[in-house]
């Protein structure tokens, strides 16, 4: 879903760069995995890992609502706004 959302938001001109950035973020998240075993060893259960993951999910949701949603409004044309000749040309070329 993230590459599709990224393509819908920013267009196809820089699709490869944007997808690469998304997969870099995915790889960076994979670097966190070894720390979960340390956290499990320190606490003796997986509860702390799940609580940390839930907390990070809440942070991501809050950021999506308050940071990304307003930023995306600047990139996406409203549905009720008429298309300009330039956007019509781009749509025909695609």
Residue 76 above 70 pLDDT?
Answer: no
* pLDDT exceeds cutoff 80 at 55: yes
Rounded Cα distance, 51 and 54, in Å = 5
Spell out the domain ranges in the chain. Answer: 1-31, 33-94
What CA dihedral angle connects 27, 31, 34 and 36, to 10 degrees?
Answer: -90
CA atoms of 16 and 31, how far apart (whole Å): 23
Average pLDDT value for residue range 59-79: 77
Residue 78: is its pLDDT beyond 70? no
pLDDT at 77 over 90: no
Residues 40/52, Cβ–Cβ less than 8 Å: no
pLDDT over 80 (residue 54): yes
Looking at residue 80, its pLDDT comes to 63
pTM for the whole structure: 0.53
Average pLDDT over residues 12-32: 83
Percent of the chain predicted with pLDDT > 70: 74
Q: For the residues 19-48, what does the mean pLDDT come to? A: 88
d(CA 22, CA 16): 10
């Amino acid at each position: 879903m993230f590459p599709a959302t990224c393509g819908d938001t920013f267009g196809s001109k820089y699709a490869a760069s944007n997808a690469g950035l998304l997969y870099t973020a995915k790889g960076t998240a994979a670097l966190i995995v070894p720390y979960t075993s340390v956290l499990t060893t320190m606490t003796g259960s997986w509860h702390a890992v799940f609580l940390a993951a839930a907390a990070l999910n809440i942070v991501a949701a809050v950021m999506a609502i308050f940071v990304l949603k307003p930023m995306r409004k600047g990139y996406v044309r409203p549905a009720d706004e008429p298309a300009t000749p330039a956007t019509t040309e781009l749509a025909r070329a695609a």
